[in-house]
Amino acid sequence: MKVQVVLIVFLSMVWLVKCEHLILGDANKKTLIHHTVAQYHAIPFTKRVKEVFFSSPDQRVINSILVYDNLHSLASATVTAGGVGYTYVNIRMKSERGKGLDYDIGIYY
């Protein structure tokens, strides 16, 4: 039984790593407070990295973060500071080697 639980958790984590979008929290019926598009053009043999920082001007807590990969590539997006439950967030996006970045980022109260 323990082995099955560990296997299910491991497979879930592998599936999350292969996911191309970053969805944290529940954006259903929440207010969009910040939207931005992060784009970088491709450079051959190079990974493109971009960081986006947002801080709530009125110190309200972030309820949800949606980072959508418009290119449907194997690029990754991670929260490196703050996030859901904080008043700020830093999102780091990294492209595949030789590919560009194109992300829609939405942050919700």
Please report, for the chain, the start and end positions of each structural domain, with discontinuous segments joined by +: 20-108
Look up residue 36 and give its amino acid: T
Q: How far apart are CA 84 and CA 25, in angstroms?
A: 7
Tens digits of residue pLDDT in 20-62: 788 888 878 889 999 999 999 999 999 999 999 999 999 999 9
Q: How far apart are CA 54 and CA 6, in angstroms?
A: 36
- In sequence order, what are the beta bridge partners of 54? 89
Contact status, residue 20 vs residue 98, Cβ threshold 8 Å: no
Tens digits of residue pLDDT in 54-97: 999 999 999 999 999 998 888 899 999 999 999 999 999 999 99
Strand order in the sheet with 22-25: 22-25, 64-69, 101-108, 32-40
